[in-house]
Amino acid sequence: MLIDRRTAGLIIASVVLALATPALAQFQPTRPLELVAHNGPGSGNDAFARTLAALFEQEKLVPVRVQVVNKPGGGSTTAAAYMASKAGDPNTLAVYTNTWLIDHLVQQAAQVSLYQTLTPVARVVIEPGLFVVRADAPWNNLKEFIEAAKAAPGKLKQSGGSITARENIVRQLLAKSTGANWAFISFPSGSERMAALLGGHVNLMMIDPGEGIEQVRAGKLKVLAQLADTRLAAFKDIPTVKESGYELPKIPQVRGVIGPPNMPAEALAFYEGVFKKLAQTSGWKKYIADNYFEDGHQGAAESRKFLAEFEGELREQLQTTGAKIVR
Amino acid sequence: MDIINGLVQGFSVALLPVNLMWCFVGCFLGTVVGILPGLGPAATIAMLMPLTYGMNPASGIIMLTGIYYGAKYGGSTTSILLNIPGESSSVATCLDGYQMARNGRAGAALGIAAIASFIAGTVGVILLTLMAPPIAQIALAFSSPEYFALMLLGLSLVVLLSGASIVKGVLSLLIGLWLTSIGTDLFTAESRYVFGQTVLVGGIDFMVVAIGVFALSEVLSSIESRDETNVLPVPRGILNLLPTWEELKACRFAFVNGSLVGFFVGVLPGAGSTIASFISYGIEKAVSKHPEKFGTGVPEGVAAPEGANNADSGGALVPLLTLGLPGGSATAIMLSALVMWGVKPGPLMMEERPDVFWGLVASMYIGNVMLLVLNLPLVPVFAQILRVPVFVLFPMILGIAMVGAYSASGRIFDLALLAGFGLLGYLMVKFRYPTAPLILGFVLGDAMERALRQTLMMSQGDITTFAERPIAAAMLAIAVLILLTPLLGYFNRWRTKAIEG
Amino acid sequence: MGLGRDRDVISGAVLAALGVFILSQALQWNFIGPDGPGPGFFPVGYGVLMIVLSLYLVVKSALRPDPAARTSNDWPGTGRALATWGMFAGSIALMEPLGFPVAFALLAAGTIWLVMGKQLWVAIVTAVVSAACFWMVFSLALGLNLPAGYAWTPLLRMLGIG
């Protein structure tokens, strides 16, 4: 069977056209979108990535399947290295948190810079924090706790994660400005931190609101103060740290989305638009409310600027925690 | 009687045909991912969670939980047949399970694993039914000093696990302790023993070590001794594929031991089923009349860890449902699923959503029966795998080992580590070092170091804190006693000699 | 040469060296800090214990060789095992460019043919069939991201699949 020259010419022309069109028109992903989470299934970050994936599909924001890929290891180091290896790929995104900035500052091996090497796409949410103690504890506000810590240096204890985590930075800043001193005990999982508090083995913990709300509702824990700019709707009666009489620099806990190095401009514009649209959907608003997050939406350029500034602030604040800064 | 009312309500939910179906689907999927290495229960639950968005919460959590405990039933299969642990919690099952298979008792080992899983799984659910809120309070009394004592108790079992030479056993343990330190220190963010490698900053995955040291080194040793025909004899006749009455009778204590240890360790948010299975195995060996036979294929060496591994499922649900505290990654996803449905796990869940709480508990009774019925007929089928000629079986084992090690993190580097640990395991066997202590050290070392440092930070360096806490003190005393037994042996031998001389 | 009683001497010496390495690193880290034990606390402990026990092992077996350990080594068998290991390591090195199915098929064919002494065609058929089964079960049915191999990307792109 032979094809005459004209038909062949038509086929070639249409193939060329088909190949050229996507570059001219707006970018649309054609392969499944990979959404990288820097820890395993079951972590808060994995849950966040899976929620994004589900909302993308529910709200038809992307025309392809979204696949959550877990790249755990070394805080964010493995995931960041994986993203760096995907230069120019328009089908891979990752969810970042403060950890990505911090690891780069304190880990020699974490060479990937979040905003210099990789391509910031959007900042998505800001997580407030709550200072909680056991309901039967003698302190009813942050001031009383800090005064008690001053009276018995080193006797009171706070449970938390890594020493580079926000809760320890906040503790160091509070301790420094007030002269109080209480211990910080690291536990690897949120459950262990909370169990230590509920069991009375430590006295204080700083939590995400979603993490401890049930304990507060059941009358097992009470909230001393909230770390947020303005009082959260769900905690109207709880003073902020500032209202409690303590000035702290801004230390937001952020989650956002990052692309690989040299992400094509059209692809970046497309995903930036996706997150802009996402912020308006009812599914997203419900998720934000259910988890007591603040909407922290910022576009690509804005979030890059934010990350650069925030890294500088973190570098300063981390020095107070005693962590070794390598960059 | 609140509990009876609750159970009645629970069964009225769980016995609805639609919930029975989802329970079966969950158990079936769990069995499949348990048997196949590579896809763990946590990853499976995370993948299937979106499918349950539209379900009612009781059906959804019944299915997801079915995957969770179903996977533990299936996990023992490859441990016994191929010396490849399917999940980290079935590593301890390799020790005697694979040896039973080598003795021609593969079917019996699989059968005992299924029966132990059923008994202990059911006991775990019964304890969950009867005493969830009070036991959660006991779990909260457990803190770093108690965890340290528990881990030390576990490590003292090395004395029992080490076979002929205690010195070599302890050296093997120390290698495990070192390997588990590799990575970032939680307390100071200091990198330890990473050799400047980014890939090591997160530490080494347990499955990579276990598969390398057990499965890969076993293949190399078998190739060395050149077993031309089938290495593992499979007897003909269906009766020879089932456990004998004597074998089951030998497991009587193991069933009880596995059930209780698994449940109570499972309740602790900081321990987990891998630790539970090793401790149960150690206790079984410690009380046995013939401890020297452990590791050569004794049925109770399969029943105890397998039982503990499954009783752990019931235990792990206690803090999840009554405190909202998940102990591991699979339960953490179940927590986020519950939150998504608007069910709030925590102190108020039993009152506010009794349908979900009791429906789930009741479904686990049903699910355990389903799993037994599903798994027992599979025993003779799986035992046939061993009839596959060696020249096909060995490459298959190598391939499964690769998939199992790779899928944990998706890094080629982990395969290179797997090769390294395979060689290490082979050399250890060649130089007559026991490998089980290395695995034990790897499992417990990290948690033990953490607990000790937390304890001393909390007490401001005062070690008398251990003496002031009765649970910790009791466990430490037992651990020291176990550690001293070999010295007692030396003393006895010296005394006999002295008297005879 | 048999490995005989040298077994304990050799392995003890190696472990003593490892212990010295562990200790030398651990001493660079904080042993006890202001808040409690530091990152060096534990490694110093097991490092010292490792050196002591391994030296004890060396001395003991040098002075009083254990007659039970005096079995000679099966060198041809060791060669077979190490050859298998070499092929396993080689297959892992090839996995990134060639992908799991091809690298695994090469490993399977190599071990069946060279180590187990089967005929070449048996080895090739078994290897291809088992590689295909693995790919179907784990990659297609379970959806695991096994490496597909970047060497094939141009080829697949030419065929319009990639």
Residue B229 DSSP label: S
pLDDT tens by residue, B360-410 = 999 999 999 999 999 988 888 888 888 888 888 899 999 999 998 888 777
Whether the per-residue pLDDT at C149 is higher than 90: the answer is no
- Asked casually if ipTM beats, i.e. exceeds, 0.90, the reply is yes
Q: Compute the distance between CA of residue B7 and CA of residue C45 in angstroms, rounded to an integer.
A: 52
Chain A contact set for B319 (CB, 8 A): 191, 195
- The conformational region for residue C4 under phi > 0 = left, psi -120 to 50 = alpha, else beta, is left
> Nearest by CB to A217, which of B184, B189, B348?
B348
Residue C5 has a pLDDT of: 58
Q: Which residue of C has its CA nearest to A30?
A: C162
Helix (H) or strand (E) holding B59: helix B57-74
Residues 6+ apart with CB under 8 A from B166: B159, B486
Chain C contact set for B431 (CB, 8 A): 3, 7-8, 10-11
Q: Which domain holds residue B326?
A: 2-500
Amino acid found at B113: A
Q: Would you call A69 and C35 a contact, using CB atoms and an 8 Å cutoff?
A: no
Whether the per-residue pLDDT at A18 is higher than 60: the answer is no
Residue A195 has a pLDDT of: 92
Q: Tell me the HSE value of B466 on the side-chain side, using a 13 A CA sphere.
A: 20
Q: Which residue of A has its CA nearest to C161?
A: A31
**Which among B179, B96, B81, B92 has a CA at the least distance from the CA of B400?**
B81
- Determine contact, residues C123/C103, Cβ cutoff 8 Å: no
* Helix, strand, coil percent values for chain C (each to nearest 5): 75, 0, 25
- Please, which pLDDT band fits residue C141 given cuts at 50, 70 and 90? confident
- Please, which pLDDT band fits residue C3 given cuts at 50, 70 and 90? low
The dihedral sign for the CA sequence A34, A39, A45, A48: positive
B329 Cβ under 8 Å from any chain A Cβ? yes
* Domain positions in chain C: 6-69, 75-156
Whether the per-residue pLDDT at A133 is higher than 60: the answer is yes
Mutation site for C-interface testing, chosen from B158, B432, B459, B463 by largest number of C Cβ within 10 Å: B432
Q: Which residues of chain B, if any, have pLDDT below 70?
A: 1, 163, 227-238, 489, 500-501
**Which among B378, B475, B496, B425 has a CA at the least distance from the CA of B154?**
B475
Q: At what angle do helices B106-141 and B2-14 cross, to 10 degrees?
A: 130
The tokens of B492 are what? 């006895």
**Average pLDDT of chain A to the nearest whole number:** 86
Q: Compute the distance between CA of residue B16 and CA of residue B37 in angstroms, rounded to an integer.
A: 33
Chain B contact set for A181 (CB, 8 A): none
Residue C157 DSSP label: H
A183 Cβ under 8 Å from any chain C Cβ? yes
Per-window interface: B 426-445 vs C, CB < 8 A: 426, 430-433
B149 φ, ψ to 5°?
-60, -40
A149 Cβ under 8 Å from any chain B Cβ? no
Beta bridge partners of A129: A227
**What's the 3-state SS for B265-294?**
HHHCCCCCHHHHHHHHHHHHHHHCCCHHHC
Whether the per-residue pLDDT at A134 is higher than 50: the answer is yes
The tokens of A204 are what? 């204080």
Chain A contact set for B460 (CB, 8 A): 154, 183
Residue C98 has a pLDDT of: 93
Residue A1 has a pLDDT of: 40
pLDDT tens by residue, A90-104 = 999 999 999 999 989
Average pLDDT over residues A187-193: 88
Residues 6+ apart with CB under 8 A from B207: B85, B88, B404, B405, B408
**Which among C120, C118, C114 has a CA at the least distance from the CA of C85?**
C114
Count of all residues that appear for chain A in the document: 327
DSSP-derived 3-state class of residue B227: coil
Chain B contact set for C125 (CB, 8 A): none
Count of A-B CB contacts under 8 Å: 170
pLDDT tens by residue, A142-161 = 999 999 999 998 899 999 98
> Nearest by CB to B395, which of C35, C96, C111?
C111
End-to-end CA distance of chain C: 55
* Least confident stretch, A264-268, B157-161, C112-116, C150-154: B157-161
Count of B-C CB contacts under 8 Å: 168
Residue B74 C-alpha, separation from nearest chain C C-alpha, in angstroms: 16
Residue A120 has a pLDDT of: 95
Residue B498 has a pLDDT of: 73
Distance from chain centroid for Cα B244: 25
Task: Please report, rounded to a whole number, the percentage of residues in chain C having pLDDT higher than 90.
Answer: 56
Residue A127 DSSP label: E
C98 φ, ψ to 5°?
-90, -20
Q: Would you call C108 and B399 a contact, using CB atoms and an 8 Å cutoff?
A: yes
**Which among B268, B277, B325 has a CA at the least distance from the CA of B135?**
B268
- Residues B153, B156, B160: CA angle, nearest 5 degrees: 125
- Determine contact, residues B158/B444, Cβ cutoff 8 Å: no
A282 Cβ under 8 Å from any chain B Cβ? no
The CA–CA distances, whole Å, from B473 to B146, B267, B288, B467, B482 equal 8, 20, 25, 5, 14
Helix (H) or strand (E) holding C156: helix C153-159
The CA–CA distances, whole Å, from B182 to B89, B148, B151, B385, C22 equal 21, 20, 19, 37, 11
Q: Compute the distance between CA of residue B270 and CA of residue B262 in angstroms, rounded to an integer.
A: 14
Residue B190 has a pLDDT of: 82
pLDDT tens by residue, B121-159 = 999 999 999 988 899 988 999 999 999 999 998 888 877
Q: Which residue of C has its CA nearest to A181?
A: C35
B15 vs C2 pLDDT, higher one? B15
Residue B124 has a pLDDT of: 95
- Determine contact, residues B75/B89, Cβ cutoff 8 Å: yes
Q: Which domains does chain A have, with CATH numbers?
A: 32-126+252-321 (3.40.190.150), 129-227 (3.40.190.10)
A298 φ, ψ to 5°?
-140, 145
Residues 6+ apart with CB under 8 A from A223: A130, A131, A132, A216, A235, A238
Q: Which residue of B has its CA nearest to A81?
A: B198
Per-window interface: B 113-172 vs C, CB < 8 A: 167-168, 170-171
B347 Cβ under 8 Å from any chain A Cβ? yes
Helix (H) or strand (E) holding A60: none
Beta strands A157-160 and A204-207: pairing type?
Answer: parallel
- Please, which pLDDT band fits residue A22 given cuts at 50, 70 and 90? very low
Q: Hey, what's the torsion of the CAs at B26, B27, B29, B33, to 10 degrees?
A: 130
DSSP-derived 3-state class of residue B35: helix
Q: Tell me the HSE value of C91 on the side-chain side, using a 13 A CA sphere.
A: 26
A69 Cβ under 8 Å from any chain C Cβ? yes
Q: Which residue of A has its CA nearest to B339?
A: A290
Residue B198 has a pLDDT of: 78
Helices (H) and strands (E) in chain C, counts: 7, 0
Chain C contact set for B178 (CB, 8 A): 18, 22, 43, 46-47, 50
The tokens of B232 are what? 């593992």
Mutation site for C-interface testing, chosen from B44, B193, B223 by largest number of C Cβ within 10 Å: B223
List the chains bordering chain A where 3 or more Cβ pairs fall under 8 Å: B, C
Average pLDDT over residues C54-68: 82
Q: Would you call B53 and A78 a contact, using CB atoms and an 8 Å cutoff?
A: no
Residue A21 has a pLDDT of: 44
- The conformational region for residue B472 under phi > 0 = left, psi -120 to 50 = alpha, else beta, is alpha
DSSP-derived 3-state class of residue B37: coil
B299 Cβ under 8 Å from any chain A Cβ? no
